[in-house]
Amino acid sequence: MHGKEDLRYEDCEETARWLLDRVQFTPDIAIICGSGLGLLADTLSNPKTFDYSEIPHFPASTVAGHSGQLVFGTLQHKSCVCMKGRFHVYEGYPLWKVTFPIRVFMLLGVKVLMVTNAAGSLCETYKTGDVMIIRDHINMPGLAALNPLRGPNDERFGPRFPSLWDTYDRDLRSTALEIACRLGRAELIHEGVYCMVGGPNFESVAEARFLHRLGADAVGMSTAPEVVVAKHCGMRVFGLSLITNQVAQEYEMQESVNHSSVLEVGKQRSQLLQDLITELVQNIKFTEDRQETA
């Protein structure tokens, strides 16, 4: 569908140079906005916006709720870049293409990646509209060798065998939980394990039961490949899942999930996510050689 080309460092460089020539600053933080969550990008000050279609080598977003724009600007006096819409395997893209922006972000100078997604709950204590801070993930396609690091490794991006044991930054997670308490929304916030499946269909009852027994608290169709590449590139990672539905684990349950309802929950919770991420960004301190949260 999208050709048989492979990842080339030179293409990432060309894209990064094209962007830097037009924004003239290097972002420290990248934020990926999932289904229905693009309003986060609208909080940036002095925004400079590019449609994906005009950026060299960038894929095109084809999913409703993903507007397909890259927005540069400042948030809490920090330089940021936001993706309004991401790319998915189910759209027909190879994984290196799905994660192409992450490698471009590395070349732009990004140090922290924040990922958001819409997910279904496998945990009976999570309610629709709750937010799950991602503690860890289960990358189902990755376990079957569908991994964005598959193929020849370019050491300029990262090592051949990166470790994922500490992928989701502990300090950022802890700070986010403290912020939720300060905002008076602690009852809506959980920490848990996100599971990525390939999609685009929602899960069968048997699949949902299987994933829950594996230890997954929420399931979606994105995020893990981006996070794997970010870790490979040496970035700190923070992830949030907005719980948009309960995944049916009993045949007697009424199936009600659809993409429209996912987008609607995103709209309802956009302010909470905006407040949480804005305060978290404010708490990130950058020094010359490392970053730490206050």
Q: Does 3 fall in a domain?
A: no
Q: Is the pLDDT of residue 257 over 90?
A: no
Local confidence band at 171 (pLDDT 50, 70, 90 cut-offs) = very high
Q: Does 294 fall in a domain?
A: no
Q: Does 106 fall in a domain?
A: yes
Q: Is the pLDDT of residue 235 over 60?
A: yes
pLDDT at 16: 98
Q: Is the pLDDT of residue 190 over 50?
A: yes
How many structural domains are present in the chain?
1
pLDDT at 149: 97
Q: Which domain does 92 fall in, by range?
A: 9-287
Take residue 99 and report the two structure tokens written for it.
């994660």
Q: Does 2 fall in a domain?
A: no
pLDDT at 271: 84
Q: Is the pLDDT of residue 67 over 90?
A: no
Q: Does 183 fall in a domain?
A: yes
Q: Does 20 fall in a domain?
A: yes
Q: Closest Cα to residue 221, out of 237, 205, 238, 244? A: 244
Q: Is the pLDDT of residue 133 over 60?
A: yes
Local confidence band at 213 (pLDDT 50, 70, 90 cut-offs) = very high
What residues are annotated to the active site?
Answer: 35, 66, 88, 90-91, 118, 221-222, 245, 259
For the beta carbon of residue 225, count every other beta carbon within 10 angstroms: 25
pLDDT at 260: 76
pLDDT digits (tens, 9 = 90+) for 25-36: 999 999 998 866
pLDDT at 2: 41
pLDDT at 165: 93
Residue that wins the pLDDT comparison between 260 and 55 = 55
pLDDT at 1: 37
Calculate mean pLDDT across residues 166-190: 96
CATH number of domain containing 130: 3.40.50.1580
Take residue 5 and report the two structure tokens written for it.
């080309």
Local confidence band at 64 (pLDDT 50, 70, 90 cut-offs) = low
Number of Cα atoms under 13 Å in the Cβ half of residue 280 = 32
Q: Does 139 fall in a domain?
A: yes
pLDDT at 238: 98
- Which segment of 4-8, 126-130, 255-259 scores lowest on mean pLDDT? 255-259
- State the average pLDDT for the chain: 90
pTM: 0.92
Q: Does 292 fall in a domain?
A: no
